[in-house]
Amino acid sequence: MKRKSIAMAFLLIVAFGFLAVQGAFAQKSRLVFMTAGDVNMLALGQNVFAPGFMAENPNVQVITIHTGPGNAGSQTIYEKLLAEKKANKAAGDVDVALVHEIFMKWTMDQDLLQPYAQMTNTWKYVTSPFAKTSLGINVEGYVMPLFQSQTAIAYNPDYVKNPPKSYAELKEWVKKNPGKFGYNGIKGGASGVAFVMGWVYAETGKYKKYAVTGPFEKAEVDSWEPAYKALKEFNKNIVITAGNVGTLDALNRGEIWMGPVWVDMFFTFMNEGKMDPKMRLALPEPGMPGQPMFFVIPKNAPNPELSRKFIEYVTSPKIQANEIVIRFNWYPGIDGSALKGSIPQEVFDKIYRDVTPADLQKKGLAFPLADYYNAMLEAYERWAQ
């Protein structure tokens, strides 16, 4: 009899406990944050944004979903939103998405997003030109940049005393030092792609037309043959590395003396002890491309106000300084002047030592317009291989 009542009591406790837990969850509103990008973006969402935002908003549960690196990651998000639209789903599953530039090209004419940026209280800090035009498309009001990532040439100062100041000087350097420059081609990650785009800008001198104004003309593509033939010659004296990380590893192991890298990956490797701290950066004339990642809110987001609140939190000067710049070594998505005083001098000096804010302004280029972008990649396969 006694045993029976104990069992009964235990059951009751379990049942009540279950109800209580369910009740607690029911009261919390859910915010689904879907992010493209490498696994570092998942870590950023799960370990930084979600706990930080939930600490300030205890009745919100942030769920981070990761779709994968590169354009393919953004594409998955695009396909999800498109499928919801085709199914006429009034309230979608995604509250906030973090995407690459190319995503805007796919979605802007599909009516999948809502304009929200001007309504946020952090809009006043946004000065980046990328937040207005991206790959030649007007995106103003639909996006808030989380960060700006930039490519540059990393080099080993033990062997390279005077890093090349332009692509032309780099060509000469490679002739004198065969096998000591490495990049990852165009199929092993975007640092190689950025290097090739910069090459075309340098050879043709038509950055404005290809990346800003357009329009797309087939005749331009045909005019690139000499530029790519020159790149084919250049490629004879260099090594192709195994990916973005491959270039960094090869540089660190001393296999190569110079190579194009993502600046944020370069500094993160350094912070983690995977890169010799003596390595330096250079941004050759006419410059190399970089790209932002954008926050967007789907048109059918279930809680647009909550979505905005989340984006306001992440684009606030505090988070931008502590997480984006200090911890992850990106250039901030909002204006650097808003961060003054929030970033310790040594971090500021490290990040802006070789590539100064003035350099970034002048030589931090955009990737080409989408049609030129595709044409440049295919031209590489046609003429430079």
Partner 1 sequence: MTSLQPKMWGERKLPPYVLLLFPSVTFMVLMYAWPFISSVLQSFFISGKEGGVTLANYVKVWELYRKDIAFTFAVTIFNTFLVGVVAVIFSVYFRLRQNRVSALLSAIFKLPIFIPFVVVSQMMNSFLAPHGLLNTALAQLGLVNLDKPLQLFNFAGLSFGFAWKQIPFAVLIIHGGFQMIDNSYIEAARSIGAKLPSVILRVLVPMNKSSIIVALVLVYSQIIGTFTLPYMLIGGKVPTTITVDIAHRVNYFRDFGVANALGVCSYIMVLLTAAYYLRSKIKEARQEVSQ
In the complex, minimum distance from the CB of residue 290 to partner 1, in angstroms, rounded to a whole number: 17
One of 243, 302, 304, 357 touching partner 1 (CB under 8 A)? 243
Q: Which two tokens stand for residue 251?
A: 């540089």
In the complex, minimum distance from the CB of residue 186 to partner 1, in angstroms, rounded to a whole number: 6
In the complex, minimum distance from the CB of residue 225 to partner 1, in angstroms, rounded to a whole number: 14
Stretch that binds partner 1, among 251-259, 288-296, 304-312, 346-354 (CB under 8 A): 251-259
One of 57, 61, 71, 271 touching partner 1 (CB under 8 A)? 71
Q: Is 230 in the site for partner 1 (CB under 8 A)?
A: no
Q: What is the largest CA-CA distance in the chain?
A: 94
DSSP assignment of 202-245 equals HHH--HIIIIII----HHHHHTTHHHHHHHHHHHTTSEE-SHHH
Q: Which two tokens stand for residue 3?
A: 């045993």
**Contact partners, residue 95, CB within 8 Å, separation at least 6:** 31, 32, 33, 297, 298, 301, 302, 303, 306, 307, 310
The smaller minimum CB distance to partner 1, of residues 178 and 205, is found at 178
Residues 47, 50: Cα–Cα separation, whole Å: 7
Cα 7 to Cα 15, 18, 19, distances in angstroms: 12, 16, 18
Q: Per this entry, what is the length of the chain?
A: 385
In the complex, minimum distance from the CB of residue 75 to partner 1, in angstroms, rounded to a whole number: 6
Residues 55, 79: Cα–Cα separation, whole Å: 32
The smaller minimum CB distance to partner 1, of residues 104 and 306, is found at 104
The smaller minimum CB distance to partner 1, of residues 50 and 376, is found at 376
Q: Is 293 in the site for partner 1 (CB under 8 A)?
A: no
The smaller minimum CB distance to partner 1, of residues 228 and 331, is found at 228
Number of residues that bind partner 1 (CB under 8 A): 29
Residues 64, 51: Cα–Cα separation, whole Å: 11
One of 255, 276, 285, 335 touching partner 1 (CB under 8 A)? 255
The smaller minimum CB distance to partner 1, of residues 175 and 187, is found at 187
Residues 147, 360: Cα–Cα separation, whole Å: 14
CB crowding 298-331: b at 16 or more within 10 Å, else e: bbbbbbbebbbbbbbbbbbbebbbbbbbbebbbb
Which residues in 163-192 contact partner 1 (CB under 8 A)? Answer: 183-189, 192
Q: Which of 150, 186, 102, 187 is nearest to 329 (CA)?
A: 150
The smaller minimum CB distance to partner 1, of residues 316 and 374, is found at 374
The smaller minimum CB distance to partner 1, of residues 186 and 281, is found at 186
Q: Is 332 in the site for partner 1 (CB under 8 A)?
A: no
In the complex, minimum distance from the CB of residue 176 to partner 1, in angstroms, rounded to a whole number: 16
One of 65, 212, 242, 326 touching partner 1 (CB under 8 A)? 242
Site string for partner 1, 11-30 (x = CB under 8 A): --------------------
Q: Is 335 in the site for partner 1 (CB under 8 A)?
A: no
In the complex, minimum distance from the CB of residue 301 to partner 1, in angstroms, rounded to a whole number: 24
Is 264 within 8 Å of 196 (Cβ atoms)? Answer: no
Taken in order 107, 37, 148, 195, the sign of the CA dihedral is negative
Which positions lie near partner 1, rule CB under 8 A? 70-72, 75, 183-189, 192-193, 240-243, 246, 249-250, 253-255, 374, 377-378, 381-382, 385
